[in-house]
Structure 1
Amino acid sequence: MKVLNPDEMRRMDETCIHKYKVPAQILMENAALSALSVIQEEYPHHSVLLVCGSGNNGGDGLALARILFSLEKDVEVLLLGNPDHFSKETSQNYRAVREIGIPLSLNPNDEELSFKPNRLIVDALLGIGLNRTVSEKYKAIIERMNHSGAPIFSLDIPSGIDGTTAQPRGISIRADKTICFGAPKRGNILSPGYVYNGELFCSRISFPPPLIRDWPGKTEFNIPSPLIQRDPLGYKNSFGRILIIGGGKNYQGAPALAAQAAYRSGAGYVTAAVPQSQASGFSAHCPEAVIQELQETTEKTISEKNETLLLDLASKHDVVLMGPGMTGQEETVSLIRKLIPLIPVPLVLDADGLNALAGSPDLTSKRKFQTVITPHLGEQKRLRLGLTEDQSLEERYGVICVYKGPRSRICQSDGKEYINLTGNDALGTAGSGDVLAGMVATLIATQESVIQGVCKAVLLHGLTAERYPGARESFTASDIIEALPRCLLEYKNNYNEMKQTFLGKMKMIP
């Protein structure tokens, strides 16, 4: 499923109108009919107040008001704006609403505004074209709508959400349900915009399939291919050999979590290269892992003296994960920087591996093998030091970048972007990133391509949080690992349903 920004959506509308000869009035009518189907299913007994602006979003609302009125619904319209500035399609629906006698208040004052808690509010106020802070006039109306106690159904996007950045422009409607037209917008899908949608629906509004299929957009939902079936005749070396370089004083758990996650994600063989002082205790955390003891600095971190050993070890594995728990000790940072350009297999950098990389993009951009980085927000900021505003991390560092956070994004240096739909705030717990890094390393090794492996790992990582049966406050990184077998099985057995329902995050409406 493609995800568009407002400019792309306008171009898609224009292409539909001019190339495929579908009139704009029909598209507006279809948008209203699809919204009607949601109202009939979800709010069949409600009277309806439609709050409409002066753009085509308001036109969709006026068309919906006309259709609801024809079904003898109790309908009222609050219209804000100057009818002299309406588009042709919005003007036609405005005139129809007036002629057939639907109660309409044009630019009502505060005393005339009435939002009753037992009446459905349809938000058709601002739409996807908002590119500035919500005016004081509209802000007051949105505040009253939000505090009315009434259910709110937004058309295309909750009013006040920026369709590109997903950020509220000062204030936003908090909808109970939203229907997007044509295709979901970035503002519907990214954080924090998706929180304001409530339940999300989508209608193609009769866009021809070739228009959707062949659209050159580079952003889509993260719904990768099915998991590759394991070879029934395979053995441990058939299922991915993973080298994890990590650990340091006070951070023994990080590489252990990554190793456990690697095994639970399907790795056949995991080597943990850790400081000598940690080696004896490591097997208690992950007895399956092979331990490579490393020489230490005086601060009990990994010494530069291990460079040759680690490069030789890396060449005997399919993927290397470097960074969990390595600390910012000066000599260890120097080692990381030496190893990054020389590791002769795909490389995953996380945690202190990212901190060592920050400010030195040439270390990864000139690598012969693919690199994946998995920064959280703080690490993203550090990695951006020295970059221009229009440069992305994936472009400048020449990597696949997993921007971790609510609705994580997986971005390639060619501009392709996958928005992840799984996960919740339970993942905000120590060690969660170490687990993800171990999953990424394994699925890179076992799936059909690096990008597919990364996408599957991020999806499954989020799914573990959604399937956790307890309170989110109780969720730990170890719970992610424990849930992986069930989530892998669910993804295998229910793949087609999960794909068709967009992982339960969006419903398609005819």
Structure 2
Amino acid sequence: MKVSTVAQMRNLDRTASERFGLSEDILMENAGYSVFSFIRKKIGLNDKKFLIFAGTGNNGGDGLVIGRKIFAEGGHIKIFIIGDKERLKGAAKKNYDILLNMGADVEEIVEAINLIEKIRKEIIHADLIIDSIFGTGITREVTGVHKEIIRLINSIGKSVLSVDIPSGINGDTGIVMGDAVRADYTITLGTPKIGNLLYPGFNYSGKLFLSHISFPSSLYDSDELYIAINSPIPLPSRENDSHKGSFGKVLFVAGSSKYLGAPYFSSLSFLKSGGGLSYLATPKSISSLIANKGSEIVVLPQKETKDGCLSLKCAEELINFSKNVDMAVIGPGLSLNKETKRLVIELVREIEKPVLIDGDGITAVSEEIGILKDRKETTIITPHLGEMTRLTDINKEEISKDKINVLKKTTEELNSIIVLKGAHSLVGYTDGRVYINTNGNPGMATAGSGDVLTGTIPAMFGLGLDIKDAVRIGVYIHGLSGDIAAENKGMDGITATDIMEHLPDAMRYYRDNLDELKKIYEIEII
């Protein structure tokens, strides 16, 4: 399912009009009718009272269509126009005039100070609040009467339906513009917007639905839309005459005397996700400890520094060994030892296989970023927000305000596929495509969870997926495993071990229930 920016959505509206003759009036009518139909089916109209807060733009016009439909069907409706009604234009103004001619209860609010108690009573007695104040076009913080109304809606706690996006959420970033409506339902129109899916906007949307408002598929599936929800695809089958080498051989360069969990979780998660042979190059002093805990891992003890970190002297051996594997993973638990960081730089520069860089490996390459640009084979980087700041020299706050564009720019500059980890992780590609992953849960915010991901991604490559698909499906499987763990154990107290141990369950569920997964994690179309 494709996702649009606010500007792309405006272009789709314009194309719908110019190429297909879908005028503003028709699109607004379709938008209002789709929301009205949802209300009629989900809430019902009989003996219900509906309260609409409508702005003076097109989103407000959608709300006026909804009100007109409810009123025409005999429903009890009250509409507050927030702002100067003289600003209503085009189709929105037509629907306003129709409502007045029909005798509907429509009232303008320019200042709320003298109407607060009246508005409060209307909210208290309503069965459903319909929010069509701003839509996706908001670019500055909510102030004045709009802020007062939004806070009042949120404070009373009645059921709320937002049209397109909760008012106060930035449509391109998901950022709260000072204050925003907390909805129980949101019906987004045409295509989902970035702000519908990124946090914190996603958290304000309640249950999210989509109406294509009669757009032809050539619009909402257009190649010009480079963002999409990360959807599952079929995995290659495991043939009866397969052997362990059939499902990938991966070299993990990981671990130090202070960090034993990261190498263990990453290298074993590769096997738990269906991978074939997992080789772990780790300091000699900890190799037997990891081998005893993960006997399925082929441990390659390596020379180490005096403080138990991988030595630069390992470089030649590991570069030669990499020629016999399909992929290398560099970074989990390596530490920030200066010599080890030089080893990372050497390996990333010289290994002529796809390389995944995680954790301390990211910190190392960020100090010599040019080596990524020159690599011929695929490079995958899996930073969390803090590590992304090291790659970009942009602070966390600025990245959070513009994740998609920062990700797009960085993937191109670094010639790398990047997984920006977090709630609704993003997967960015060098051709500009970005996938938003919508599974996973807050219980996965635990030490070692990212190390499990570094094993899951190469496993998808080992199973036979194209490297680009392997990255996003690895992210998907990781989130699914976390969701299964949470369902079985609850979110509180989930550990990396729980996520890893549920990987076989996630793989089985994925293979057996592909269509069902699309229904669970994708937006329902109405």
Do the structures match in fold with TM over 0.5? yes
Paired-residue identity, %: 34
CA offsets 1:84-123 (integer angstroms, 9 cap, x no match)? 2222100000001111111111115334323116521000
After the TM superposition, which of the residue ranges 429-438 and 128-137 deviates more from structure 2?
128-137
Counterpart AA for 2:437: N
The amino acid across from 1:378 in the alignment is G
2:460 is equivalent to residue 460 of structure 1: no
Where does residue 82 of structure 2 map in the other structure?
80
Equivalent residue number for residue 300 of structure 1: 308
Tell me, which stretches of 5 or more residues in structure 1 are unaligned?
A: none
AA matched with 1:18:
E
Alignment-derived partner of residue 419 in structure 1? 436
Residue 308 of structure 2 corresponds to residue 291 of structure 1: no
1:248 touches 1:300 (CA, 8 Å); kept in 2? Answer: yes
The whole-number CA distance in structure 1 between the counterparts of 2:103 and 2:482 is: 51
Structure 1 distance, partners of 2:327, 2:100, is 67
Q: How far did residue 504 of structure 1 move? A: 3.3
Does 1:124 pair with 2:132?
A: yes
1:475 maps to 494
- CA–CA separation in structure 2 for the residues paired with 1:101 and 1:337: 73
Query: Which residue number corresponds to residue 450 of structure 2?
Result: 433
State the Cα distance separating 1:37 from its structure 2 match: 2.0
**1:165 partner SS:** coil
The 8 Å contact of residues 177 and 198 in structure 1, kept in 2 or not, is answered as yes
What is the correspondence of 1:146-225 to structure 2 with a 5 Å cutoff?
146-225=154-233
Equivalent residue number for residue 116 of structure 2: 110
**Deviation of the 1:224 alpha carbon:** 4.0
Query: Equivalents in 2 of 1:351, 1:214: separation in Å?
Result: 36
**1:8 matched to which residue of 2?**
8
Amino acid at match of 2:423: P
What is the alpha-carbon distance in structure 2 between the residues aligned to residue 371 and residue 315 of structure 1?
Answer: 16
Change (3 A) 1:199 1:51: same
SS at the partner of 1:372? Answer: strand
* Inter-partner Cα distance in structure 2 for 1:435 and 1:209: 37
Matched residue, 1:504? 521
Q: What SS is found at the alignment partner of 1:79? A: strand
| CA deviation string 1:400-437 (max 9, x = no partner) | 00000011000012211001011111110000000000
AA of the residue aligned to 2:116: D
Is this contact kept in 2: 1:117–1:149, CA < 8 A? Answer: no
Question: Aligned equivalents of 1:163 and 1:386: distance in 2?
Answer: 22
SS in 1 for 2:188: strand
Q: CA deviation at 1:287?
A: 0.5
* Structure 2 match to 1:314: 322
Query: What is the match of residue 26 of structure 1?
Result: 26
**Paired positions, count:** 507
The amino acid of 2:10's aligned partner reads R
- Distance of aligned partners of 1:412 and 1:215 in 2 relative to their CA distance in 1, 3 Å threshold: closer
**What SS does structure 1 have at the residue aligned with 2:502?**
helix
- TM-superposed CA distance for 1:386, in Å, is 8.0
Q: SS state of the match for residue 343, structure 2?
A: helix
**What is the CA-CA distance between 1:232 and the residue it aligns to?**
1.9
1:399 is aligned to 2:412: no
Per-residue deviation at 1:273? 0.6
The worse-fitting range, judged by mean Cα deviation, of 422-431 and 75-84 is 75-84
Instruction: Say yes or no: does 1:232 pair with 2:240.
Output: yes
* Code of the aligned partner of 1:490: Y
How far residue 134 of structure 1 moved from its aligned partner, in angstroms, is: 0.7
Cα deviation code 1:124-155 (max 9, x no counterpart): 00101101111122111100000112100000
Q: What TM-score, normalized to structure 2?
A: 0.94
Measure the CA separation in 1 of the matches of 2:394 and 2:189: 39
Q: Say which SS state the counterpart of residue 407 (structure 1) adopts.
A: coil
- Mark the CA change 1:296 to 1:359 in structure 2 (over 3 Å): closer, same or farther: closer
**How far 1:65 sits from its partner (Å)?**
0.2
Q: Which residue of 1 aligns with 2:96?
A: 94
Query: Aligned to 2:362, what secondary structure does the other structure show?
Result: helix
Of the three residues 215, 240, 248, the one matched with 2:256 is 248
Q: Give 3-state SS (helix, strand or coil) of 1:166's partner.
A: coil
Amino acid in structure 2 at the alignment position of 1:98: L
The separation in 1 between residues aligned to 2:196 and 2:489, in whole angstroms, is 28
Judge conservation of contact 2:247–2:464 (CA < 8 Å) in 1.
Answer: no
Q: Distance in 1 between matches of 2:301 and 2:434?
A: 39
AA aligned to 1:419 is: I
Match among 405, 420, 426 for residue 409 of structure 1: 426
Please say if residues 361 and 396 of structure 1, whose CA atoms lie closer than 8 Å, have aligned partners that are also in contact: no
Q: CA separation of 1:57/1:386 partners in 2, compared to 1, >3 Å: closer, same or farther?
A: closer
2: CA distance between counterparts of 1:354 and 1:119?
Answer: 52
Residue type matched to 2:53 in 1? Answer: V
Taking the aligned partners of 1:359 and 1:129, their CA distance within structure 2 comes to 39
TM-align CA RMSD? 1.6
Distance 1:278 1:344 in 2: 28
Partners of 1:467 and 1:293 lie apart in 2 by 35
**Partner amino acid for 1:322?**
I
Cα deviation for residue 5 of structure 1 reads: 0.9
Counterpart amino acid of 2:375? R
Query: Which deviations, in whole Å up to 9, do the C-alpha atoms of 1:293-341 show, x marking residues without a partner?
Result: 1001001100011110000111111011111110001110111111111
Gapped regions of structure 2 (runs ≥ 5) = 400-404
User: Does the 8 Å CA contact 1:243/1:320 hold for their aligned counterparts?
Assistant: yes
AA partner of residue 506 (structure 2): C
Q: What is the DSSP-based 3-state SS (H/G/I as helix, E as strand, rest coil) of the residue aligned with 1:201?
A: strand
